[in-house]
Amino acid sequence: MLGWVLAVILTNGCGEEPREHQARQHATPSRGYILISLDSLAARRLGAYGYHRDTSPFFDRLADRGQLFETTIAQSPSTLVSHLSLMTGLYPQQHGVDGPRETLSAGIETLAERFSRYGFATAGHTEGGLVGRNYGFHRGFDEFTDSFGRSDTEIEATLASGLAFLRGLEPEDRFFLFLHSYSVHHPYEPPDPYRSLFLPTGGLADASGDLSWRAFNAGFLDVEDSDIELASALYDGSVRYVDDQLEGFFTDLQDLGLLENTTIVITSDHGEEFLEHRRLGHSQVYPEDVQVPLLVLEPGATSGRRIPELTELIDVAPTLYDLAGIPTPADLSGESLLHLLRGGSTDSSWAYSESLGRTSQRSLFSTESGVTHQVVITSLAAEPDGIWVTKAAGFETTSPTLAFSIASFNQPRLVRLALEDEEFERIEAGARWSRISLDLPGERSRYRLDLSTEGCNSPRLLGLSDDPRCLSFKLRGLAPRLRELFRLDQDPRASQDLGSLEPDTLERLSGELSRLRWSVVAPPQPRPLSEEIREPLRLLGAVD
Protein backbone atom coordinates (compact mmCIF):
# COMPACT_ATOMS: atom_id res chain seq x y z
CA MET A 1 0.00 0.00 0.00
CA LEU A 2 2.71 2.53 0.95
CA GLY A 3 4.56 1.85 -2.29
CA TRP A 4 1.44 2.92 -4.19
CA VAL A 5 1.11 5.93 -1.92
CA LEU A 6 4.72 6.94 -2.61
CA ALA A 7 4.05 6.74 -6.33
CA VAL A 8 1.22 9.22 -5.82
CA ILE A 9 3.51 11.47 -3.78
CA LEU A 10 6.25 11.36 -6.39
CA THR A 11 3.94 12.16 -9.28
CA ASN A 12 1.12 14.28 -7.89
CA GLY A 13 2.73 16.34 -5.14
CA CYS A 14 0.01 16.84 -2.55
CA GLY A 15 -2.21 13.82 -1.99
CA GLU A 16 -5.92 13.99 -2.60
CA GLU A 17 -6.98 12.91 0.85
CA PRO A 18 -7.17 15.54 3.63
CA ARG A 19 -5.26 15.18 6.88
CA GLU A 20 -7.28 13.27 9.45
CA HIS A 21 -6.94 12.97 13.19
CA GLN A 22 -8.17 9.41 13.49
CA ALA A 23 -7.36 6.44 15.64
CA ARG A 24 -5.27 3.76 13.98
CA GLN A 25 -5.22 0.12 14.87
CA HIS A 26 -2.06 -1.56 16.10
CA ALA A 27 -0.24 -2.89 13.05
CA THR A 28 1.88 -5.98 12.72
CA PRO A 29 5.51 -4.98 13.26
CA SER A 30 7.29 -4.01 10.07
CA ARG A 31 10.02 -6.11 8.52
CA GLY A 32 12.48 -3.26 8.82
CA TYR A 33 13.15 0.10 10.46
CA ILE A 34 15.15 2.97 9.00
CA LEU A 35 16.20 5.91 11.18
CA ILE A 36 17.51 8.93 9.26
CA SER A 37 19.21 11.83 11.07
CA LEU A 38 19.88 14.92 8.97
CA ASP A 39 22.33 16.85 11.09
CA SER A 40 21.52 20.54 11.82
CA LEU A 41 18.12 20.41 10.09
CA ALA A 42 15.87 22.93 11.88
CA ALA A 43 12.17 22.09 11.79
CA ARG A 44 11.27 25.69 11.05
CA ARG A 45 13.25 25.62 7.77
CA LEU A 46 10.87 23.02 6.25
CA GLY A 47 7.63 23.76 4.44
CA ALA A 48 5.75 21.20 6.53
CA TYR A 49 6.56 23.35 9.58
CA GLY A 50 5.50 26.60 7.91
CA TYR A 51 8.67 27.83 6.20
CA HIS A 52 8.07 30.27 3.34
CA ARG A 53 10.85 29.05 1.03
CA ASP A 54 10.44 25.92 -1.07
CA THR A 55 13.23 24.03 0.69
CA SER A 56 11.52 20.68 1.22
CA PRO A 57 8.87 19.74 -1.35
CA PHE A 58 9.49 16.01 -0.99
CA PHE A 59 9.58 16.01 2.80
CA ASP A 60 6.36 18.03 2.78
CA ARG A 61 4.67 15.44 0.59
CA LEU A 62 5.85 12.69 2.92
CA ALA A 63 4.40 14.69 5.83
CA ASP A 64 1.06 14.70 4.00
CA ARG A 65 1.10 10.89 4.21
CA GLY A 66 2.94 10.17 7.45
CA GLN A 67 2.59 11.33 11.02
CA LEU A 68 4.37 14.61 11.73
CA PHE A 69 5.20 15.61 15.28
CA GLU A 70 4.84 19.38 15.36
CA THR A 71 7.05 20.16 18.37
CA THR A 72 9.91 17.73 19.00
CA ILE A 73 12.72 18.99 21.22
CA ALA A 74 16.32 17.81 21.04
CA GLN A 75 17.95 17.36 24.44
CA SER A 76 21.02 19.33 23.42
CA PRO A 77 22.17 21.54 20.52
CA SER A 78 25.39 19.47 20.42
CA THR A 79 25.71 16.88 17.64
CA LEU A 80 27.48 14.39 19.91
CA VAL A 81 25.34 14.81 23.01
CA SER A 82 22.06 14.89 21.11
CA HIS A 83 22.80 11.82 18.98
CA LEU A 84 23.77 9.84 22.07
CA SER A 85 20.41 10.76 23.61
CA LEU A 86 18.69 9.73 20.37
CA MET A 87 20.47 6.37 20.31
CA THR A 88 20.01 5.57 24.01
CA GLY A 89 16.70 7.14 25.08
CA LEU A 90 18.54 8.88 27.93
CA TYR A 91 18.91 12.51 28.94
CA PRO A 92 22.45 13.98 28.62
CA GLN A 93 22.96 13.88 32.39
CA GLN A 94 22.18 10.15 32.30
CA HIS A 95 24.61 9.08 29.56
CA GLY A 96 27.08 11.63 30.93
CA VAL A 97 28.86 12.59 27.70
CA ASP A 98 29.05 16.37 27.38
CA GLY A 99 31.88 16.83 24.88
CA PRO A 100 34.31 15.23 22.43
CA ARG A 101 36.77 14.21 25.14
CA GLU A 102 34.39 11.51 26.41
CA THR A 103 32.84 8.39 24.92
CA LEU A 104 29.69 6.48 25.84
CA SER A 105 30.08 3.86 28.57
CA ALA A 106 29.87 0.24 27.46
CA GLY A 107 27.36 -0.17 30.27
CA ILE A 108 24.71 1.78 28.34
CA GLU A 109 22.86 -0.10 25.60
CA THR A 110 22.30 1.56 22.24
CA LEU A 111 19.45 1.21 19.75
CA ALA A 112 21.57 -0.92 17.45
CA GLU A 113 22.69 -3.24 20.24
CA ARG A 114 19.10 -3.88 21.28
CA PHE A 115 17.85 -4.47 17.74
CA SER A 116 20.78 -6.83 17.17
CA ARG A 117 20.06 -8.69 20.41
CA TYR A 118 16.54 -9.39 19.17
CA GLY A 119 17.66 -10.86 15.86
CA PHE A 120 17.68 -7.88 13.50
CA ALA A 121 20.37 -7.39 10.86
CA THR A 122 21.84 -3.97 11.60
CA ALA A 123 23.79 -1.37 9.65
CA GLY A 124 24.90 2.15 10.46
CA HIS A 125 26.31 4.55 7.89
CA THR A 126 27.34 7.93 9.28
CA GLU A 127 29.62 10.71 8.14
CA GLY A 128 31.92 10.38 11.12
CA GLY A 129 33.17 13.30 13.17
CA LEU A 130 31.03 13.39 16.29
CA VAL A 131 28.85 10.49 15.09
CA GLY A 132 31.60 7.91 14.75
CA ARG A 133 33.10 4.87 16.41
CA ASN A 134 35.26 7.08 18.64
CA TYR A 135 32.13 7.81 20.67
CA GLY A 136 30.50 4.37 20.66
CA PHE A 137 28.10 4.78 17.75
CA HIS A 138 29.41 1.65 16.02
CA ARG A 139 28.27 -0.68 18.79
CA GLY A 140 25.61 -3.20 17.81
CA PHE A 141 25.93 -2.72 14.05
CA ASP A 142 26.82 -5.68 11.82
CA GLU A 143 28.32 -3.17 9.43
CA PHE A 144 29.27 0.42 10.18
CA THR A 145 30.99 3.21 8.27
CA ASP A 146 31.92 6.64 9.57
CA SER A 147 34.02 8.18 6.81
CA PHE A 148 34.32 11.93 7.05
CA GLY A 149 34.28 13.62 3.66
CA ARG A 150 33.16 17.15 4.65
CA SER A 151 31.20 17.84 1.51
CA ASP A 152 27.50 18.48 1.14
CA THR A 153 27.45 15.76 -1.52
CA GLU A 154 28.64 13.15 0.99
CA ILE A 155 25.01 12.22 1.56
CA GLU A 156 24.96 10.52 -1.82
CA ALA A 157 27.57 7.99 -0.70
CA THR A 158 25.88 7.59 2.69
CA LEU A 159 22.51 6.74 1.16
CA ALA A 160 24.19 4.46 -1.38
CA SER A 161 25.85 2.52 1.46
CA GLY A 162 22.46 2.08 3.11
CA LEU A 163 20.94 0.80 -0.11
CA ALA A 164 23.83 -1.65 -0.58
CA PHE A 165 23.09 -3.09 2.86
CA LEU A 166 19.41 -3.45 2.03
CA ARG A 167 20.14 -5.17 -1.29
CA GLY A 168 22.30 -7.73 0.52
CA LEU A 169 19.58 -8.84 2.92
CA GLU A 170 17.99 -12.25 2.72
CA PRO A 171 14.18 -12.28 2.24
CA GLU A 172 13.62 -13.49 5.79
CA ASP A 173 15.90 -10.90 7.42
CA ARG A 174 14.41 -8.24 9.64
CA PHE A 175 16.59 -5.16 9.77
CA PHE A 176 17.47 -1.84 11.41
CA LEU A 177 19.32 0.79 9.38
CA PHE A 178 20.67 4.08 10.75
CA LEU A 179 21.73 6.81 8.33
CA HIS A 180 23.32 10.11 9.33
CA SER A 181 24.50 13.01 7.16
CA TYR A 182 26.20 16.38 7.69
CA SER A 183 24.99 17.72 4.34
CA VAL A 184 22.96 20.50 6.00
CA HIS A 185 25.68 21.23 8.58
CA HIS A 186 27.96 24.28 8.48
CA PRO A 187 29.88 25.15 6.32
CA TYR A 188 26.98 25.48 3.88
CA GLU A 189 28.33 24.41 0.48
CA PRO A 190 25.52 22.88 -1.59
CA PRO A 191 26.43 21.90 -5.15
CA ASP A 192 25.09 23.70 -8.21
CA PRO A 193 22.32 24.53 -8.91
CA TYR A 194 21.31 24.47 -5.23
CA ARG A 195 23.88 27.02 -4.06
CA SER A 196 22.21 29.77 -6.11
CA LEU A 197 18.63 28.63 -5.57
CA PHE A 198 17.84 31.05 -2.74
CA LEU A 199 20.63 33.61 -3.12
CA PRO A 200 19.63 37.28 -3.33
CA THR A 201 18.99 38.50 -6.85
CA GLY A 202 22.10 39.83 -8.48
CA GLY A 203 24.78 37.33 -7.73
CA LEU A 204 27.06 36.35 -4.86
CA ALA A 205 27.71 33.23 -6.90
CA ASP A 206 31.32 33.05 -5.72
CA ALA A 207 30.47 33.67 -2.07
CA SER A 208 31.23 31.12 0.62
CA GLY A 209 28.96 29.74 3.29
CA ASP A 210 31.92 29.18 5.61
CA LEU A 211 30.81 31.74 8.19
CA SER A 212 32.72 30.91 11.35
CA TRP A 213 29.90 30.77 13.85
CA ARG A 214 32.24 29.54 16.58
CA ALA A 215 34.52 32.58 16.18
CA PHE A 216 31.53 34.92 16.12
CA ASN A 217 30.00 33.41 19.25
CA ALA A 218 33.36 33.65 21.02
CA GLY A 219 33.53 37.37 20.23
CA PHE A 220 36.38 37.30 17.70
CA LEU A 221 34.34 38.02 14.57
CA ASP A 222 31.84 40.66 13.50
CA VAL A 223 29.30 39.98 10.75
CA GLU A 224 27.16 42.11 8.49
CA ASP A 225 23.51 41.62 7.66
CA SER A 226 24.57 40.55 4.17
CA ASP A 227 26.72 37.78 5.69
CA ILE A 228 23.70 36.41 7.55
CA GLU A 229 21.49 36.68 4.47
CA LEU A 230 24.04 34.75 2.44
CA ALA A 231 24.62 32.05 5.02
CA SER A 232 20.87 31.57 5.48
CA ALA A 233 20.33 31.28 1.71
CA LEU A 234 23.11 28.70 1.35
CA TYR A 235 21.76 26.75 4.32
CA ASP A 236 18.36 26.62 2.61
CA GLY A 237 20.05 25.48 -0.59
CA SER A 238 21.65 22.62 1.35
CA VAL A 239 18.25 21.67 2.77
CA ARG A 240 16.73 21.57 -0.73
CA TYR A 241 19.64 19.47 -2.01
CA VAL A 242 19.20 16.96 0.80
CA ASP A 243 15.45 16.89 0.16
CA ASP A 244 16.06 15.89 -3.46
CA GLN A 245 18.51 13.19 -2.37
CA LEU A 246 15.91 11.91 0.05
CA GLU A 247 13.41 11.62 -2.78
CA GLY A 248 15.86 9.54 -4.80
CA PHE A 249 16.45 7.28 -1.80
CA PHE A 250 12.73 6.65 -1.40
CA THR A 251 12.46 5.86 -5.11
CA ASP A 252 15.19 3.25 -4.69
CA LEU A 253 13.39 1.80 -1.66
CA GLN A 254 10.25 1.50 -3.75
CA ASP A 255 12.18 -0.25 -6.54
CA LEU A 256 13.52 -2.71 -3.94
CA GLY A 257 9.98 -3.43 -2.77
CA LEU A 258 10.78 -2.30 0.77
CA LEU A 259 8.33 0.55 1.26
CA GLU A 260 5.45 -1.86 1.77
CA ASN A 261 7.07 -3.37 4.88
CA THR A 262 9.43 -0.75 6.32
CA THR A 263 8.88 1.92 8.97
CA ILE A 264 10.92 5.05 8.37
CA VAL A 265 11.70 7.79 10.90
CA ILE A 266 13.23 11.09 9.77
CA THR A 267 14.62 13.53 12.32
CA SER A 268 17.62 15.68 13.27
CA ASP A 269 19.89 16.26 16.25
CA HIS A 270 19.42 20.05 16.49
CA GLY A 271 18.52 23.11 14.45
CA GLU A 272 20.48 26.19 13.41
CA GLU A 273 20.46 29.81 14.51
CA PHE A 274 21.05 32.92 12.40
CA LEU A 275 21.15 35.63 15.08
CA GLU A 276 17.58 35.04 16.24
CA HIS A 277 19.01 35.15 19.77
CA ARG A 278 22.33 36.91 19.14
CA ARG A 279 24.28 33.84 18.08
CA LEU A 280 25.08 31.75 15.03
CA GLY A 281 25.11 27.99 14.57
CA HIS A 282 23.84 25.75 17.35
CA SER A 283 24.87 26.46 20.91
CA GLN A 284 21.67 27.58 22.67
CA VAL A 285 18.31 26.10 23.64
CA TYR A 286 15.88 28.43 21.90
CA PRO A 287 13.41 26.92 19.40
CA GLU A 288 15.57 27.54 16.33
CA ASP A 289 18.38 25.57 18.02
CA VAL A 290 16.54 22.57 19.48
CA GLN A 291 13.18 22.14 17.72
CA VAL A 292 13.76 19.35 15.21
CA PRO A 293 11.61 17.57 12.64
CA LEU A 294 10.16 14.19 13.52
CA LEU A 295 8.24 12.27 10.87
CA VAL A 296 7.11 8.65 11.19
CA LEU A 297 6.11 6.76 8.05
CA GLU A 298 4.51 3.36 8.65
CA PRO A 299 3.44 0.81 6.03
CA GLY A 300 -0.23 1.12 5.15
CA ALA A 301 -0.56 4.81 5.97
CA THR A 302 -2.80 6.56 3.45
CA SER A 303 -3.45 9.92 5.11
CA GLY A 304 -1.24 12.26 7.08
CA ARG A 305 -1.72 13.54 10.57
CA ARG A 306 -0.11 16.29 12.61
CA ILE A 307 0.53 15.51 16.28
CA PRO A 308 0.66 18.69 18.43
CA GLU A 309 1.92 17.25 21.72
CA LEU A 310 5.41 18.14 22.91
CA THR A 311 7.79 15.26 22.32
CA GLU A 312 11.50 14.69 22.84
CA LEU A 313 14.28 13.13 20.80
CA ILE A 314 14.79 10.56 23.56
CA ASP A 315 11.29 9.27 22.75
CA VAL A 316 12.47 7.86 19.41
CA ALA A 317 14.24 4.80 20.86
CA PRO A 318 11.32 3.47 22.97
CA THR A 319 8.94 4.24 20.10
CA LEU A 320 11.00 2.12 17.71
CA TYR A 321 11.13 -0.68 20.27
CA ASP A 322 7.35 -0.62 20.61
CA LEU A 323 6.81 -0.53 16.86
CA ALA A 324 9.21 -3.45 16.35
CA GLY A 325 7.75 -5.53 19.17
CA ILE A 326 11.00 -5.37 21.16
CA PRO A 327 10.78 -5.10 24.97
CA THR A 328 11.68 -1.59 26.14
CA PRO A 329 14.21 -1.30 29.00
CA ALA A 330 12.59 -0.04 32.16
CA ASP A 331 15.30 2.54 32.88
CA LEU A 332 14.83 4.70 29.77
CA SER A 333 13.70 8.28 30.30
CA GLY A 334 12.23 8.53 26.83
CA GLU A 335 8.58 7.52 26.45
CA SER A 336 7.07 5.58 23.59
CA LEU A 337 4.96 7.72 21.26
CA LEU A 338 2.94 4.73 20.09
CA HIS A 339 -0.24 5.95 21.79
CA LEU A 340 0.06 9.24 19.89
CA LEU A 341 0.76 7.41 16.64
CA ARG A 342 -2.41 5.41 17.21
CA GLY A 343 -4.56 8.51 17.58
CA GLY A 344 -4.34 9.15 21.30
CA SER A 345 -3.70 12.54 22.89
CA THR A 346 -2.63 14.14 26.17
CA ASP A 347 -3.74 17.33 27.93
CA SER A 348 -0.24 18.24 29.05
CA SER A 349 3.30 17.44 27.98
CA TRP A 350 6.80 18.73 28.58
CA ALA A 351 10.33 18.54 27.18
CA TYR A 352 13.81 19.37 28.41
CA SER A 353 16.97 20.67 26.74
CA GLU A 354 20.36 21.83 27.96
CA SER A 355 23.58 23.41 26.72
CA LEU A 356 26.44 23.40 29.21
CA GLY A 357 29.71 25.30 29.17
CA ARG A 358 31.07 28.67 30.27
CA THR A 359 27.62 29.95 29.37
CA SER A 360 25.11 27.31 30.47
CA GLN A 361 21.46 27.07 29.58
CA ARG A 362 18.73 24.75 30.79
CA SER A 363 15.23 24.87 29.36
CA LEU A 364 11.80 23.44 30.01
CA PHE A 365 9.05 23.39 27.39
CA SER A 366 5.57 22.88 28.80
CA THR A 367 2.16 22.49 27.16
CA GLU A 368 -1.00 22.70 29.25
CA SER A 369 -4.50 22.96 27.75
CA GLY A 370 -3.14 24.10 24.40
CA VAL A 371 -0.81 26.76 25.82
CA THR A 372 2.92 26.15 25.27
CA HIS A 373 5.54 27.98 27.34
CA GLN A 374 9.30 27.79 27.30
CA VAL A 375 11.40 28.85 30.26
CA VAL A 376 15.16 29.30 29.79
CA ILE A 377 17.66 29.76 32.60
CA THR A 378 21.03 31.15 31.47
CA SER A 379 24.03 31.51 33.76
CA LEU A 380 27.72 32.34 33.40
CA ALA A 381 30.46 30.31 35.05
CA ALA A 382 31.93 32.08 38.08
CA GLU A 383 35.63 32.31 38.93
CA PRO A 384 37.10 33.01 42.38
CA ASP A 385 37.52 36.75 41.70
CA GLY A 386 34.42 37.39 39.58
CA ILE A 387 32.71 36.61 36.30
CA TRP A 388 34.18 37.43 32.90
CA VAL A 389 31.83 38.67 30.19
CA THR A 390 32.33 38.56 26.42
CA LYS A 391 30.60 41.66 25.05
CA ALA A 392 27.18 41.09 26.66
CA ALA A 393 25.36 39.46 29.56
CA GLY A 394 21.70 39.39 30.51
CA PHE A 395 20.52 39.09 34.09
CA GLU A 396 17.59 39.76 36.39
CA THR A 397 17.06 41.11 39.87
CA THR A 398 14.15 41.57 42.23
CA SER A 399 15.76 44.48 44.07
CA PRO A 400 15.13 48.10 43.01
CA THR A 401 18.74 48.87 43.95
CA LEU A 402 21.50 47.49 41.75
CA ALA A 403 24.98 47.35 43.27
CA PHE A 404 28.08 45.67 41.81
CA SER A 405 31.72 46.22 40.85
CA ILE A 406 33.07 46.25 37.30
CA ALA A 407 36.52 46.27 35.68
CA SER A 408 37.43 46.29 31.99
CA PHE A 409 39.99 43.95 30.43
CA ASN A 410 43.03 45.41 28.67
CA GLN A 411 41.52 48.79 27.82
CA PRO A 412 38.81 51.19 29.06
CA ARG A 413 35.33 50.40 27.77
CA LEU A 414 31.93 52.00 27.68
CA VAL A 415 29.42 49.51 29.07
CA ARG A 416 25.73 50.08 28.42
CA LEU A 417 23.10 49.00 30.91
CA ALA A 418 19.65 48.35 29.44
CA LEU A 419 16.42 47.81 31.36
CA GLU A 420 13.77 45.84 29.46
CA ASP A 421 15.68 46.52 26.20
CA GLU A 422 15.81 50.30 26.79
CA GLU A 423 19.17 51.91 27.56
CA PHE A 424 19.19 53.04 31.19
CA GLU A 425 22.78 53.91 32.07
CA ARG A 426 26.27 54.17 30.55
CA ILE A 427 29.19 52.98 32.65
CA GLU A 428 32.83 53.95 32.12
CA ALA A 429 34.79 50.80 33.01
CA GLY A 430 38.55 50.96 33.46
CA ALA A 431 41.30 48.56 34.47
CA ARG A 432 40.62 49.15 38.16
CA TRP A 433 37.48 48.04 39.93
CA SER A 434 34.66 50.59 39.99
CA ARG A 435 31.76 50.35 42.39
CA ILE A 436 28.35 50.91 40.76
CA SER A 437 25.14 51.63 42.67
CA LEU A 438 21.91 52.48 40.84
CA ASP A 439 18.28 52.87 41.76
CA LEU A 440 16.04 51.15 39.22
CA PRO A 441 12.81 52.93 38.25
CA GLY A 442 9.31 51.79 39.10
CA GLU A 443 8.03 49.12 41.42
CA ARG A 444 8.46 45.74 39.79
CA SER A 445 8.59 42.18 40.98
CA ARG A 446 11.38 41.51 38.43
CA TYR A 447 13.83 43.70 36.56
CA ARG A 448 15.27 42.33 33.29
CA LEU A 449 18.64 43.96 32.49
CA ASP A 450 21.47 43.66 29.97
CA LEU A 451 25.09 44.80 30.11
CA SER A 452 26.85 45.18 26.75
CA THR A 453 29.95 46.73 25.21
CA GLU A 454 31.80 46.86 21.92
CA GLY A 455 34.79 44.60 21.36
CA CYS A 456 36.82 42.16 23.40
CA ASN A 457 40.44 40.95 23.64
CA SER A 458 42.01 37.54 24.10
CA PRO A 459 44.70 37.11 26.79
CA ARG A 460 46.28 34.39 24.64
CA LEU A 461 46.53 36.60 21.54
CA LEU A 462 47.93 39.42 23.67
CA GLY A 463 50.55 37.07 25.14
CA LEU A 464 49.29 37.60 28.69
CA SER A 465 48.19 34.04 29.47
CA ASP A 466 46.92 30.84 27.87
CA ASP A 467 43.29 31.92 28.27
CA PRO A 468 41.80 31.70 24.72
CA ARG A 469 38.61 33.61 25.53
CA CYS A 470 37.79 37.03 24.16
CA LEU A 471 37.12 39.15 27.26
CA SER A 472 35.44 42.52 27.70
CA PHE A 473 34.77 43.15 31.40
CA LYS A 474 34.53 41.39 34.74
CA LEU A 475 31.79 41.62 37.36
CA ARG A 476 31.78 41.19 41.13
CA GLY A 477 28.77 41.14 43.41
CA LEU A 478 26.52 40.29 40.49
CA ALA A 479 25.71 36.83 39.18
CA PRO A 480 24.46 37.16 35.59
CA ARG A 481 21.64 34.68 35.82
CA LEU A 482 18.66 35.25 33.58
CA ARG A 483 15.30 33.52 33.48
CA GLU A 484 13.26 34.03 30.33
CA LEU A 485 9.68 33.01 29.63
CA PHE A 486 8.14 32.67 26.19
CA ARG A 487 4.68 31.64 25.05
CA LEU A 488 5.45 29.63 21.94
CA ASP A 489 1.90 29.01 20.73
CA GLN A 490 1.62 32.80 20.20
CA ASP A 491 5.31 33.61 19.74
CA PRO A 492 6.94 30.58 18.05
CA ARG A 493 10.23 32.43 17.57
CA ALA A 494 10.57 33.13 21.31
CA SER A 495 11.11 36.82 20.60
CA GLN A 496 9.32 38.38 23.61
CA ASP A 497 10.34 37.60 27.17
CA LEU A 498 7.14 37.51 29.22
CA GLY A 499 8.84 36.95 32.55
CA SER A 500 7.87 40.37 33.88
CA LEU A 501 4.32 40.11 32.55
CA GLU A 502 3.64 36.57 33.79
CA PRO A 503 5.70 36.36 37.01
CA ASP A 504 3.65 33.52 38.50
CA THR A 505 4.15 31.33 35.42
CA LEU A 506 7.85 32.19 35.37
CA GLU A 507 8.25 31.22 39.03
CA ARG A 508 6.31 27.98 38.65
CA LEU A 509 8.05 26.73 35.51
CA SER A 510 11.53 27.85 36.51
CA GLY A 511 10.98 26.07 39.82
CA GLU A 512 10.02 22.90 37.98
CA LEU A 513 13.06 23.25 35.75
CA SER A 514 15.40 23.76 38.70
CA ARG A 515 14.16 20.53 40.24
CA LEU A 516 14.87 18.47 37.11
CA ARG A 517 18.00 16.41 37.75
CA TRP A 518 19.08 12.96 36.61
CA SER A 519 21.78 10.61 37.84
CA VAL A 520 24.37 9.22 35.45
CA VAL A 521 23.52 5.63 34.45
CA ALA A 522 27.15 4.74 33.75
CA PRO A 523 30.07 7.20 33.73
CA PRO A 524 31.50 8.00 30.29
CA GLN A 525 35.03 7.00 29.42
CA PRO A 526 37.74 9.57 28.64
CA ARG A 527 38.60 10.01 24.96
CA PRO A 528 41.92 11.77 24.22
CA LEU A 529 41.67 14.14 21.27
CA SER A 530 44.39 13.02 18.89
CA GLU A 531 45.08 15.17 15.85
CA GLU A 532 43.37 12.53 13.70
CA ILE A 533 40.19 12.91 15.73
CA ARG A 534 40.53 16.66 16.13
CA GLU A 535 40.82 17.59 12.43
CA PRO A 536 37.27 16.61 11.32
CA LEU A 537 35.90 18.16 14.51
CA ARG A 538 37.71 21.39 13.67
CA LEU A 539 36.19 21.40 10.17
CA LEU A 540 32.75 20.99 11.74
CA GLY A 541 33.41 23.85 14.13
CA ALA A 542 33.18 21.55 17.15
CA VAL A 543 36.64 22.40 18.52
CA ASP A 544 39.10 25.27 18.10
Residues 510-524: tens digit of each pLDDT: 999 999 999 999 999
Q: How far apart are CA 283 and CA 518, in angstroms?
A: 22
Q: How much is the pLDDT for 30?
A: 95
Question: Please, which residues bridge with residue 367 across strands?
Answer: 349, 372
Residues 348-388: tens digit of each pLDDT: 899 999 999 889 999 999 999 899 999 999 999 888 889 99
For the chain, report the end-to-end CA distance as a whole number of angstroms: 50
Residues 189-237: tens digit of each pLDDT: 999 999 999 998 755 545 555 557 777 877 788 888 888 999 999 999 9
Confidence of residue 494 (pLDDT cuts 50, 70, 90): very high
Q: How much is the pLDDT for 11?
A: 42
* Burial classification of residue 29, based on how many CB atoms lie within 10 Å of its CB (0-12 exposed, 13-18 middle, 19 or more buried): middle
Taking only Cα atoms into account, the Rg of the chain, rounded to an integer number of angstroms, comes to: 24
Q: Are strands 305-312 and 67-73 parallel, antiparallel or unpaired?
A: parallel
- Residues written for the chain: 544
Confidence of residue 2 (pLDDT cuts 50, 70, 90): very low
Give the CA diameter of the chain: 76
CATH number, span 2-14+32-193+236-346:
3.40.720.10
Q: Is the peptide bond between 327 and the residue preceding it cis, with omega within 30 degrees of 0?
A: no
Instruction: Write down the mean pLDDT value for the chain.
Output: 90
Q: Any idea where the domains of the chain sit in the sequence?
A: 2-14+32-193+236-346, 372-515
CA atoms within 13 A of residue 141's CA, in its CB half-sphere: 20
With a threshold of 0.85, does the pTM exceed it? yes
- Contact status, residue 49 vs residue 293, Cβ threshold 8 Å: yes
Residues 278-312: tens digit of each pLDDT: 899 999 999 999 999 999 999 977 789 999 999 99
Fill in the DSSP letter of residue 7.
H
Does residue 270 surpass a pLDDT of 90?
yes
Share of the chain above pLDDT 70, in %: 92
**Sequence-ordered list of residues with C-beta below 8 angstroms from that of 160, at least 6 positions apart, any chain:** none
Q: How much is the pLDDT for 442?
A: 86
Does residue 485 surpass a pLDDT of 60?
yes
Confidence of residue 20 (pLDDT cuts 50, 70, 90): very low
Q: How much is the pLDDT for 220?
A: 82
**Sequence-ordered list of residues with C-beta below 8 angstroms from that of 351, at least 6 positions apart, any chain:** 71, 72, 73, 310, 311, 312, 364, 365
CATH number, span 372-515:
2.60.120.260
Strand 434-439's sheet: what is its strand order? Answer: 387-389, 473-476, 401-408, 434-439
